[in-house]
Copies of this chain bind each other. A is one copy, B any other.
């Protein structure tokens, strides 16, 4: 730790010891951000500006008791004269921090809870013995215990936590909870872990490189390709659930959930193998992903269509589509991937684009990602995730604008050809590109893995417009033009998590909790006010005992720790004073 950083951290410790007397203007630069992941706030929150920081510190520091600030290992990345890592503890937890200084004052501060004191996860130096080297009557084996849990959990023994959704989100969280000794049950409507992936289209590959995608505790074997295919990740979910000893009920559908505010217990109705069962967890985690039920727009005349029509989520393979006139409605990732699949199987493909779309080239992203810390051999993934977290969303919006400008220069020829083909390209309404579109509404972009070249070359036709009507043999657009069709694929997205909350729990809870995801950027699809974090994700919601666990593999790995720590703390009855912003704020 450099001298300036060490001095700054000492000053922070002093300020937190007496927050009412502290001079926050000496500690923080004029433009400043403090992003806290549970450590001070038991929330995921970014405080912007000195006033917000001072307000939080005055309220939280006395109850949280942050002490013992010390330099973290000096050999870490992101360590120089102006920035560095440190550790500290609160009354309940061990934490890490990172600070970035400007002229000796903090521009960005990250604080993050790492583990609960006295409730650490098992593993590594805290692994159990497994067996006493002593004969003992009534001794039970690992299998005896696993079988008993399988028999009792959800039946005679209630899980403390019920996780609805057994994809990567649910399984990673369950793995974390298992290590923390929290009885958790994962339920999924499909039979086997991975089935949600298996039910997607056959040609699906992850668009993120493998080094971003590792699961906690059990990294992928390193023979895995840089880009992982649908079935490989599906099989991994099965492997993972087994290796991490996750309690999983397949073929189980969650139909209703009610919370009793007095007892703090949920009553959750599920159907399993034709039976209806009631589960009574204290914590309910919705981990069905950002995408819930398929969304198909109501288009007049759709019922009269004589060909095949289906949602993109039901597309398996384009085998057998040769020569057919296929219209794919939509222009995001799935729409492109399905268009490519159709073209590869000799269909006549038209993409119907209804709104402008952000495109980034996977090859470019790949080249640019080669040098990031995640990609380095021996990278510490937990540290990498923290490094990545030390980027609050407001300054990130600015840097993403710069990054997008850079990409536009780098791939100028590509973008020109794509536009010339009639594709409605943009880079977001404020030119902040693909990453911000992901955080704001998890839609609106295509990571190009070959589709754009086919569009530029005319192998995939693109048409602009909305469908006015569907008739027996095609679609009529709002401009009056007609598209003959044998097949219509609705790549029209999914309904929101929030809608599902309304159906599963109640419209009141849906309203109370509000939308999930989005930053409140005030751009289309992400109404304000500015929140500065992803709404309701991985943090306390307005509904006691209700949590949302979602996002891409990186987020899901990183934030599953935070959800698990919050749930464990509540199970153990630790004080968890949640800071939701200055009194009177939203």
Contact = CB atoms under 8 A, between A and B. Distances in A.
Contacts of A127: 210, 222-226
A130 interface: yes
A548 to B, nearest CB: 26
A238 to B, nearest CB: 7
Interface stretch (A20-28, A33-41, A431-439, A447-455): A447-455
A124 interface: yes
A123 B222 contact: yes
A137 B321 CA distance: 13
A262 interface: no
B123 A202 contact: no
A268 B343 CA distance: 45
A451 B227 contact: no
A138 B449 contact: no
B203 A139 contact: yes
Nearest to A362: B133
A130 B202 contact: no
Interface stretch (A141-149, A158-166, A274-282, A471-479): A141-149
Nearest to A234: B143
Nearest to A235: B242
Given A142-B229, A238-B242, A377 B135 contact: no
A340 B139 CA distance: 11
- Among A129, A132, A202, A224, which residue has the most Cβ atoms of chain B within 10 A? A224
A322 to B, nearest CB: 10
Interface string A339-359: 010011110000000000000
A67 to B, nearest CB: 27
A572 to B, nearest CB: 19
Contacts of A133: 361-363, 366, 448-450
Contacts of A450: 132-136
A298 interface: no
Nearest to A365: B133
Chain A interface mostly: loop
Contacts of A218: 218, 221
A236 interface: yes
Interface in A345-390: 345-346, 361-363, 366, 377
A91 interface: no
A410 interface: no
Contacts of A179: 223
Contacts of A142: 225, 229, 231-232
Contacts of A362: 133
A196 to B, nearest CB: 15
Nearest to A448: B133
Contacts of A524: none
A344 B244 contact: no
A57 to B, nearest CB: 36
A98 interface: no
A217 interface: yes
- Among A132, A218, A223, which residue has the most Cβ atoms of chain B within 10 A? A223
B344 A229 contact: no
A578 interface: no
A583 interface: no
A178 B226 contact: no
Interface in A172-189: 178-179
A122 interface: yes
A123 B210 CA distance: 12
Across the A-B interface, give the 6 residue pairs with the lowest CB-CB distance, nearest first: A130-B225, A143-B231, A135-B450, A142-B229, A130-B227, A123-B223
16 contacts: A124-B377, A127-B224, A129-B225, A130-B210, A130-B228, A133-B449, A135-B340, A135-B344, A135-B451, A135-B454, A135-B459, A141-B230, A142-B231, A217-B222, A218-B221, A235-B243
Given A133-B362, A146-B231, A218-B221, 20 more contacts: A122-B223, A123-B222, A124-B222, A127-B223, A128-B225, A129-B226, A130-B205, A130-B225, A130-B227, A131-B229, A133-B363, A133-B448, A134-B449, A135-B343, A135-B344, A141-B203, A143-B202, A217-B222, A236-B243, A238-B242
